[in-house]
Structure 1
Amino acid sequence: MTRSLLVIAGVSSLGGLLFGYDTGIISGALPTIAADFGLGDLGQQLITSAIIVGAIAGACSSGRLSDRLGRRRAIIVAATVFAVGALLAAIAPELWTLGIARLVLGFAVGLAAQAVPVYVAELASPDRRGGLVVLFQLAITVGILAAYLAGYALDDGWRWMFGLGLLPAVILLLGMLALPESPRWLFTHGNPAAARAVLSRVRPDDQAVDAEIADLATVPKGRLAMLRAPWLRPALIAGIGLAIASQVTGINAIIYYAPTILGDAGFGRDAAMLTTVGVGLVNFLMVAVGIRLVDRLGRRRLLLTLLPGAVLCLVALAAVLMIQPAPDGAARWVVILGVLGYIACNGGSLSVVVWLAGPEMYPLEVRSVAVAVSTFAVWLFDLVVSLTTLSLTSALGATGTFWLFAAVNALAVVFVRRFVPETRARSLEDIENALRAGTFRAMR
């Protein structure tokens, strides 16, 4: 792997850090915002959810922006919007301005969530693509941890919490100005010489460059109407299905509401908050492990190895809470280890693969739009989960909620086994050709 490729992946992954920071910072900022503006429960939920609404809008716009401007310029736009949103949030004089700032930040999140993985996937070599794209998800977890630390350190200084997001946004903006455009975007926009020049920077030898240019030349031209083509359907089912599964299997519900769910299960506030810190740490560590495994084990094998573990952890959780609704002693440890084990297995598999699957599986000519559709699915179902988890917990109790998540994770295992192929070590052009030949699902 060349140094240029590492720099490209590292700089662009700052988009993931901003994603994590700007979605996570509301946790520490909200109590003081509520006090300053006199917010009730409804106002707090609206301020919290504004970034998700903005992200849905960003996801809807990202495909066309990425195709029209280029992957690199789309990330530059996202960085600029991140900076504007952070500044606007930090100086917001009244509530509606803060709400607009959160919508602006959400738009940047939705755009970055599409543009960064596509950009890195189109520059990376097949044998390193998985780990480099998953750096985006690792950066998200780093951003969330940074948001928690900023919330703890700054206490009631919510304006400073938002303002700190300006620094990585400026670094991302300046860094992307120095990076090249995606060679695949350049090739499809009539500039094969520039595409070859970029590949020469990120490939170890001219032979690899020649082979990749030859592959690009053999891929048929496509149209956006191709999204409706029957031969593309297997990739759309796999990519959108994984996007939905990444949300409805419950990991964000646990991350958002772990203290509340554990409190309903009889945990004191200190124990619930300590377990929540453990959730964030385990999530970060398992994504880091996933970077190592996704190119060694493969995407499909990683999912089928860890997702059954998530099911078992949730079953153990639900069974203990059914027997002992207010657990103590050994039962309490089973609950804690079950939550952390679930986060490890689900976060180390679905959270790792979800941002990689679309950029790998979708054909070049519709990749941006198709990834935007998958990104839209992520945010739409994230919004559904965030708006329904507490209602589910109230209706079903913690026990019923964990049983439900166990069943959904089991269905995710069945889905992966049936619909998700193995794309490890295959070039993007090989994957597209397999789709056109009807052998996509047979890849193992």
Structure 2
Amino acid sequence: MQVNSPLLTAAKPIRSDEDQTLALDEAVLAVGIGWYHLRLLLLSGSIFALDAMQIQILTFVEDGVRSTFGLSSAMFSLGASAVFGGMFFGSIVAGRISDSKGRKFATLISTILITVGGAVVCTSPTFSVLVIGYFILGIGSGGLHPTAALFMEFMPTHRRLIGLILFTSFFTTGMMFECLVAYILQDYSWRWLTAASLSPVIIAMCALPIWDESPRFLVMHNRHEEAAAVFKKVARLNGTVDCLPPAFTVVISHSSGVHMPANEACEEPRQRGCISDLKVLFGTPQLRKLTIILFTVWTAASLGYYGLIMIVGQTKLGDMSVFASTAVVSSSEYPSFVAQYLLGTYIGRKKTFVVTSTLLVVLFPVIQAIKSTPAPLRLFVMYVTRFVVTTLFDLAWVFTPEAYPTEIRSFGYGMCSAMARISGILAPFVALPLYDVAPWGVVALFATVFAATAAVSSRLPFETKDRPLSEKVVVNE
């Protein structure tokens, strides 16, 4: 076999002159990992960075928006919460669209909404119009999670963790890029900063035509020829054409499913709506337990993550500007990727949830306890806290699509993301006006939430490390 791509790893040849039937996981292994995956990572990751940028920008535009419209801190928090309210709605709707119409189509709709919402925000003449623009922008940003499902569904089991960690690293890169853009444009209007922060949309619009739909989605919707064509394209770009038979059909593995009793089963994926999908998520004891625990993990991780971002943005650390302190604390996410890989590989996702949640029970009170100490110490504790909460949050992004079957993966992903957006709605009120009034009450709330998360995450029904993806909910007759 001739391998052309230096990035290629783990190709497993399945060569035959006869027409063959390949299970999805066999086809994924056969094409290996190479240039196709690198291109997909760069394109999908650039779009995913938009979500981070629309959150991070709220830290930098607060003073400008309040000055323009004469707002109090509480009123600005209301406007900021409109972003997360839109994200809540967008997460659910995009998940349903992604599972019924495709990951690619859902991403296209989301990027269009981000463009429209951004234009409304940049030109808003009144605060009411600004809130509407933020809500539309939030719907689009909340609907970007299908890009994660799309990328993951091209990855083989043994490379899934490192692939998803690299993907989520674009969220951090988006945060850091937003800090850089805000620093460069600090002497300009917040409207210019908002417009500049939409730059990844241009990449998305240009790149979407060359994207391929997820072959797992295609097979689930009986589009077997299209799925085979996608794998042939992947093999061609990866230099592994010789690993595939000249003619083959891609099918679902018979063991690749989560079982549901016949009397609780719902319609086929294309015929279901949101209510029916909710019945599927809660249709078996295993899925019900999984969903409730993941809702808890996502809610806690989001509250801690976004709450900390806003606390850092409002904390004076010596002579450091808000741009510098935010950038330094945000940079802790890069070393956290190493921790995610090591912990996720050697102790598993479940135990990592428990360990990180337990650490956060201690770290948030410490932030308040050392409030009067020198700036370097406070900066260090915030850095460590961001490191830990990022590890928890990112591994939730990894575990969730691994856990749900393909036919409800994006919807389950979207529902968990929606729970995180509820925390995002609350975070501006908890971390801004409430933290100013009762700081110890706020950190006690954080500690309680993470203590509960540590307790429930230990009860997850299974570990996803080295576990093949399931494809569908199987009806037991």
Q: Relative to structure 1, is the Cα distance of residues 283 and 63 closer, same or farther in structure 2, using a 3 angstrom cutoff?
A: same
2:331 aligns to what SS in structure 1? helix
Query: Which residue of structure 2 lines up, in the alignment, with residue 359 of structure 1?
Result: 401
Q: Distance in 2 between matches of 1:410 and 1:305?
A: 11
Q: Distance in 2 between matches of 1:215 and 1:5?
A: 23
Deviations 1:254-313 (A, max 9, x none): 1112243x45xxx65748775443211113442465357645653234334544443443
Among 252, 255, 268, the alignment partner of 2:306 is: 252
Asked if 1:414 corresponds to 2:455, the answer is yes
Q: Relative to structure 1, is the Cα distance of residues 234 and 196 closer, same or farther in structure 2, using a 3 angstrom cutoff?
A: farther
Query: Which residue of structure 2 lines up, in the alignment, with residue 423 of structure 1?
Result: 464
Q: Relative to structure 1, is the Cα distance of residues 436 and 316 closer, same or farther in structure 2, using a 3 angstrom cutoff?
A: farther
User: C-alpha displacement at 1:436, in angstroms?
Assistant: 9.2
Q: Distance in 2 between matches of 1:190 and 1:179?
A: 20
1:418 aligns to what SS in structure 2? coil
User: C-alpha displacement at 1:217, in angstroms?
Assistant: 8.2
Deviations 1:191-243 (A, max 9, x none): 11222332344466438x98973516864796433223124213213322221
Query: Which residue of structure 2 lines up, in the alignment, with residue 279 of structure 1?
Result: 329
Query: Which residue of structure 1 lines up, in the alignment, with residue 284 of structure 2?
Result: 230
2:466 aligns to what SS in structure 1? coil
Q: Distance in 1 between matches of 2:367 and 2:73?
A: 29
Q: Relative to structure 1, is the Cα distance of residues 43 and 177 closer, same or farther in structure 2, using a 3 angstrom cutoff?
A: same
Structure 2 gap segments, 5+ residues each: 1-32, 260-264, 268-276
8 Å contact from structure 2 (residues 107, 147) kept in 1: yes
User: C-alpha displacement at 1:148, in angstroms?
Assistant: 1.9
8 Å contact from structure 1 (residues 9, 133) kept in 2: no
Query: Which residue of structure 2 lines up, in the alignment, with residue 239 of structure 1?
Result: 294
Query: Which residue of structure 2 lines up, in the alignment, with residue 442 of structure 1?
Result: none
Deviations 1:119-155 (A, max 9, x none): 2222221122223233443212211222222222112
Q: Distance in 2 between matches of 1:427 and 1:212?
A: 16
Query: Which residue of structure 2 lines up, in the alignment, with residue 193 of structure 1?
Result: 225
2:470 aligns to what SS in structure 1? helix
Q: Relative to structure 1, is the Cα distance of residues 172 and 281 closer, same or farther in structure 2, using a 3 angstrom cutoff?
A: same
8 Å contact from structure 2 (residues 225, 249) kept in 1: no
Deviations 1:171-194 (A, max 9, x none): 112212201101111112121122
2:82 aligns to what SS in structure 1? helix
1:39 aligns to what SS in structure 2? coil
Q: Distance in 2 between matches of 1:13 and 1:302?
A: 24
Query: Which residue of structure 1 lines up, in the alignment, with residue 37 of structure 2?
Result: 5
Query: Which residue of structure 2 lines up, in the alignment, with residue 152 of structure 1?
Result: 183
Give the structure-2-normalised TM-score.
Answer: 0.78
User: C-alpha displacement at 1:361, in angstroms?
Assistant: 0.8
1:127 aligns to what SS in structure 2? helix
Query: Which residue of structure 1 lines up, in the alignment, with residue 253 of structure 2?
Result: 215
Query: Which residue of structure 2 lines up, in the alignment, with residue 441 of structure 1?
Result: none
2:119 aligns to what SS in structure 1? helix
Q: Distance in 2 between matches of 1:146 and 1:127?
A: 31
Q: Distance in 2 between matches of 1:212 and 1:353?
A: 30
Q: Distance in 2 between matches of 1:252 and 1:72?
A: 28
1:11 aligns to what SS in structure 2? helix
Counterparts of 1:39-438 in structure 2, within 5 Å, are 39-113=71-145, 115-155=146-186, 156-202=188-234, 205-206=243-244, 213-215=251-253, 219=257, 223=267, 224=277, 225-231=279-285, 232-248=287-303, 250-260=304-314, 262=315, 268=318, 270=320, 274-287=324-337, 290=340, 294-295=344-345, 298-314=348-364, 316-317=366-367, 320-321=369-370, 326-328=372-374, 333-348=376-391, 350-397=392-439, 399-419=440-460, 421-429=462-470
Aligned length: 419
Q: Relative to structure 1, is the Cα distance of residues 121 and 48 closer, same or farther in structure 2, using a 3 angstrom cutoff?
A: same
User: C-alpha displacement at 1:75, in angstroms?
Assistant: 0.8
Q: Relative to structure 1, is the Cα distance of residues 2 and 217 closer, same or farther in structure 2, using a 3 angstrom cutoff?
A: farther
1:215 aligns to what SS in structure 2? coil
Q: Relative to structure 1, is the Cα distance of residues 299 and 35 closer, same or farther in structure 2, using a 3 angstrom cutoff?
A: same
Q: Relative to structure 1, is the Cα distance of residues 238 and 404 closer, same or farther in structure 2, using a 3 angstrom cutoff?
A: closer
Greater share of helix residues, 1 or 2? 1
Among 66, 88, 91, the alignment partner of 1:34 is: 66
Q: Distance in 1 between matches of 2:367 and 2:44?
A: 38
2:157 aligns to what SS in structure 1? coil
Q: Relative to structure 1, is the Cα distance of residues 420 and 44 closer, same or farther in structure 2, using a 3 angstrom cutoff?
A: same
Q: Relative to structure 1, is the Cα distance of residues 404 and 36 closer, same or farther in structure 2, using a 3 angstrom cutoff?
A: closer
1:428 aligns to what SS in structure 2? coil
Q: Distance in 1 between matches of 2:39 and 2:149?
A: 16
Structure 1 gap segments, 5+ residues each: 438-444
Q: Distance in 2 between matches of 1:407 and 1:62?
A: 32
User: C-alpha displacement at 1:97, in angstroms?
Assistant: 3.3
Among 6, 28, 53, the alignment partner of 1:21 is: 53
